[in-house]
């Protein structure tokens, strides 16, 4: 199994630009999570999906952030427009489902907004 796949691994962009992060969960997993990690705020849950449906997006910081999961094998996290304070490592994680708790993290995308 390839594990959770994220792309790009690194992204450098300028303030005001649109950024799209991508995630492919482990095949057969029904739950998908987006986290943001910074030194100041640690690991924060942004949004999670179950069976492609957003369940809780209370962690999404602002309207500039949006996430979609059009099918069971793909999700995107979009930031538009990006700001320097969005610089962080963004992790995607997947889990077999709500009755199975273990979450498996992807390698992360390091985002730098100049």
Residues within the interface to other proteins (CB under 8 A): 31, 33, 42-45, 48, 50, 55-56, 91, 95, 98, 100-108
| Least spacing, CB of residue 12 vs other proteins, in Å | 16
| Least spacing, CB of residue 98 vs other proteins, in Å | 5
Q: In terms of CB distance, is 10 or 85 closer to other proteins?
A: 10
DSSP secondary structure string for all residues of 15-76? TT--EEEEEEPPTT--EEEEEEEETTTEEEEEEEEETTEEEE-TT--STTEEEEEEETTEEE
| Least spacing, CB of residue 4 vs other proteins, in Å | 8
Q: How many residues does the chain have?
A: 114
Q: In terms of CB distance, is 74 or 104 closer to other proteins?
A: 104
Measured CA to CA in angstroms, residue 11 lies from 72, 87, 100 at distances of: 25, 10, 32
| Least spacing, CB of residue 73 vs other proteins, in Å | 19
Q: In terms of CB distance, is 65 or 91 closer to other proteins?
A: 91
CB 65 within 8 A of CB 82: no
């Amino acid at each position: 199994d390839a594990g959770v796949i994220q792309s790009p691994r690194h992204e450098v962009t300028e303030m005001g630009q649109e950024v799209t992060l991508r995630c492919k969960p482990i095949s057969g997993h029904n739950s998908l999570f987006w986290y943001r990690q910074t030194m100041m705020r640690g690991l924060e849950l942004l949004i999670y999906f179950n069976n492609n449906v957003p369940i809780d997006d209370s962690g999404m910081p602002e309207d500039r952030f949006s996430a979609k999961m059009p099918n069971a094998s793909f999700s995107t996290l979009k930031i538009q427009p990006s700001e320097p304070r969005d610089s962080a490592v963004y992790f995607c994680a997947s889990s077999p489902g709500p009755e199975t708790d273990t979450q498996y993290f992807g390698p992360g995308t390091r985002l730098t907004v100049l």
